[in-house]
């Protein structure tokens, strides 16, 4: 007689049986911290404080790096997105333009008074 063999499930280990999780902490490099600070704040002093906090360094050591890496935000230009070309077609360019619409002001009016009164 043949018996069908079934896979045997392994018993789960409890968390107490597992070794503790070790987390490796590496502070960011100067350029990484400055880039993150520039994306988070527009004010240079705030950028200096953010970068110093990320790296764990005093503010005076970080300030020259932030001032040297000061970037000017360009005006919002259209974005160009290139799609992959198939062998039979050339790559297509998609231009995305953002337009701001004027704010619409809706004036609330009360009901007209009853003329019969």
pLDDT tens track for 1-21: 566 666 766 666 677 777 888
Q: Which residue has better confidence, 77 or 44?
A: 44
Compute the Cα dihedral for 44, 48, 49, 50 and give only its sign.
positive
**Average pLDDT value over all residues in the chain:** 77
Which tokens go with 56?
Answer: 């764990």
pLDDT at 46: 93
pLDDT at 13: 66
The pTM assigned to this predicted structure is 0.45
For residue 79, list its beta bridge partners. Answer: 96
Is it the case that residue 63 has pLDDT exceeding 90?
Answer: yes
Which letter does DSSP use for residue 94 in this model? E
Is it the case that residue 60 has pLDDT exceeding 90?
Answer: yes
Segment 23-36 shows an average pLDDT of 88
Cα 26–30–32 angle (5° rounding)?
75
């Amino acid at each position: 007689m043949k018996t069908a063999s079934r896979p045997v499930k392994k018993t789960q280990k409890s968390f107490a049986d597992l070794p503790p999780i070790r987390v490796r902490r590496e502070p960011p490099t100067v350029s990484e911290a400055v880039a993150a600070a520039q994306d988070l704040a527009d004010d240079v002093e705030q950028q200096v404080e953010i970068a110093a906090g990320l790296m764990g360094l005093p503010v005076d050591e970080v300030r020259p790096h932030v001032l040297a890496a000061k970037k000017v935000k360009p005006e919002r230009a259209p974005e160009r997105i290139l799609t992959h070309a198939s062998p039979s077609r050339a790559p297509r360019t998609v231009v995305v333009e953002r337009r701001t619409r004027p704010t619409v002001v809706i004036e609330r009016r009360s009901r007209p008074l009853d003329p019969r009164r």
